[in-house]
Amino acid sequence: MKSSKIVAILLASLFSGSVLAAGCSVDVEANDAMQYNTKNIDVEKSCKEFTVNLKHTGSLPKNVMGHNLVITKTADFKAVMNDGVAAGEAGNFVKAGDARVVAHTKLVGGGEKDSVKVDVSKLAAGEKYTFFCSFPGHATMMRGTVTVK
């Protein structure tokens, strides 16, 4: 592929707000302003699994401004978020054993990172998925879509 085409693809990805799971992994950043650096994660259906690498680029500790990344079907998003609050910080704000959760990272504070592997067979093409931070109050600003392509 010519370098001009690669640059065009990268620029299109940046301006679309999407992150393509290149090489079956994605890097997502979260900050102290309660923002992810993307609103959409595109996953190639040819991947058997993909890895979500979450990095907290801020400086605040996790008990004040912790972030995680939880993936659920969009229809389950609100219920999973509400049940996560009851799990508390010790449970990463994710209900233990919740079958509605496709995958989740642990809760991280400023400067920390975590990764989670996602079995792509758990994601159906055409189904709507949401990723979000389940720290109480964060999902209003920190959420996006996961799309199988």
Q: How many CA atoms lie within 13 A of 62 on its CB side?
A: 20
Q: Which residues are annotated as a binding site for Cu cation?
A: 67, 133, 138, 142
| Binding site feature residues | 67, 133, 138, 142
Return per-residue pLDDT of the chain as tens, 149 residues.
444 443 344 334 444 444 444 579 999 999 999 999 999 999 998 999 999 999 999 999 999 999 999 999 999 999 999 999 999 999 999 999 999 999 999 999 999 999 999 999 989 988 999 999 999 999 999 999 999 98
**Which element (helix H / strand E) includes 99?**
none
Q: Which CATH number fits domain 3-148: 2.60.40.420, 2.30.30.230, 3.40.50.300, 1.10.8.60?
A: 2.60.40.420
pLDDT, residue 8, reads 40
Structure pTM?
0.85
Report whether 91 contacts 51 (CB < 8 A).
no
